[in-house]
Amino acid sequence: MAVTIRDVAALAGVSAATVSRVLNGDPRVAEDLRGRVDTAVAKLGYRPNSQARSLRTRATKVLGLIIADIQNPFFTALARGVEDAASERDYSVVLANSDESLDKEQRYLEVAAAERMAGVILAPSSTTASRIDTLTERGIPVVAIDRRLRRADIDSVTVNNQKAAQQAVDHLVAAGARRIAMITGPADASTATSRLAGYRAALRAAGLRPDPALEARGDYRIEGGRTAARTLLARPDRPDGLFVGNNLMMVGALEALTQAGVAFPDDLLLAGFDEMSWPGFAPPITLVEQPSYEIGRRATELLLRRVSGDRFPPQRLVLPAHLRPRASTHRPAVA
């Protein structure tokens, strides 16, 4: 069996992207890493295809899109926006699903680097731990979507999550809820942090003290929402309002509410974040609607400006999200 670049990477203890940089003569690779790669190449007798190497030194007209969860309709609509904008400029898009896994995300970043993709749009699994140096060290531009990275040099396209969450909880308060719980997302996701901050800010603005016992941590997945909702419903002093931090967790929360015999809006006022089809559940749910398609388009347009060589300061585009009040937060007046 022919020796591959991954075999060399495994023996040298480096990434495939690092091996590729060494083979392409990138002067920015540290000498110790270069030596390890050269030793592994010699030991394995690796012979890169010269034609393939020539092709890989030039960026392709391919963009990478790495999202957190393809099952989430937010990312489905976003991906459509990316593809439409890319196609208009004769670029193709390769889609990868990280499943909120840093390890999986890193593998896809390495593939994007090794394949010399023109640029990458990334929904980072972590605000701080996502390792995009794999791309930026090779001059491959990156645009973060949905969640920001704590790097001042990286463009991003997001919504104002804190403001949108605060509006949703303000609405619950105005509708009469006083013991308002929240199912929030992963601690290292900037969206979860911002939405939780908005929830707390709304409570304080209404003269209500945030209660840690009413904050249940989920994982942006259905099961996480189900488990968190069951925890909240098991309390002797059940909440009379619930804000759910994303649409997949809402699916799990709805299942838990139904199983517990909790009716909304009669027993509990309910609001969520992000649109989704919830067949079999009524009434319609109040939610924050994100411009997911537009996020994808704007991120692609920004990325292609970078790809074309335009020089401009890092952009932090923040698009508006809108609260859509529906029947889940409306109790008919008693005559």
d(CA 304, CA 87): 11
Flag whether pLDDT at 51 surpasses 50: no
Q: Contact, 35 vs 13, CB < 8 A?
A: no
Flag whether pLDDT at 152 surpasses 60: yes
Q: Contact, 319 vs 292, CB < 8 A?
A: no
> Other C-beta atoms within 10 Å of 84: how many?
14
pLDDT single digits (tens) 248-285 = 999 999 999 999 999 999 999 999 999 876 666 678 99
Phi, psi of 168, deg, nearest 5: -65, -45
Using DSSP's 3-state secondary structure scheme, residue 213 falls into: helix
pLDDT single digits (tens) 184-240 = 999 988 899 999 999 999 999 999 999 999 999 999 999 999 999 999 999 999 999
Q: What is the DSSP letter of 221?
A: S
Q: Contact, 173 vs 208, CB < 8 A?
A: yes
Instruction: Return the pLDDT at 29.
Output: 76
What count of residues does the chain have? Answer: 335
Phi, psi of 112, deg, nearest 5: -60, -40
% of the chain with per-residue pLDDT over 90: 66
pLDDT single digits (tens) 52-95 = 444 445 568 999 999 998 888 999 999 999 999 999 999 999 99
d(CA 246, CA 252): 11
d(CA 97, CA 75): 10
Average pLDDT rounded to a whole number, residues 290-310: 95
> Other C-beta atoms within 10 Å of 269: how many?
25
Q: Contact, 166 vs 202, CB < 8 A?
A: yes
Name the token pair of 331: 């109790």
Listed in sequence order, the residues at least 6 apart from 241 whose beta carbon sits closer than 8 Å to its beta carbon are 172, 173, 175, 177, 178, 179, 180, 181, 268, 269, 270, 271
| Long-range pairs for 151-154: beta carbons < 8 A, 24 or more residues apart | 152/314, 153/314, 154/314
Name the token pair of 297: 């388009």
Residues facing residue 288 across a β-bridge: 273, 323
Phi, psi of 183, deg, nearest 5: -100, 110
* Lowest-pLDDT range of 39-43, 146-150, 275-279, 288-292: 275-279
d(CA 150, CA 144): 10
Flag whether pLDDT at 317 surpasses 50: yes
d(CA 329, CA 335): 19
Flag whether pLDDT at 335 surpasses 60: no
> Quick check: pTM over 0.75?
yes
Q: Are strands 215-217 and 119-122 parallel, antiparallel or unpaired?
A: unpaired
Going along the chain from its start, the domains and CATH numbers come out as: 5-48 (1.10.260.40), 60-159+292-321 (3.40.50.2300), 161-290+323-329 (3.40.50.2300)
Name the token pair of 41: 């190449």
Average pLDDT rounded to a whole number, residues 167-172: 98
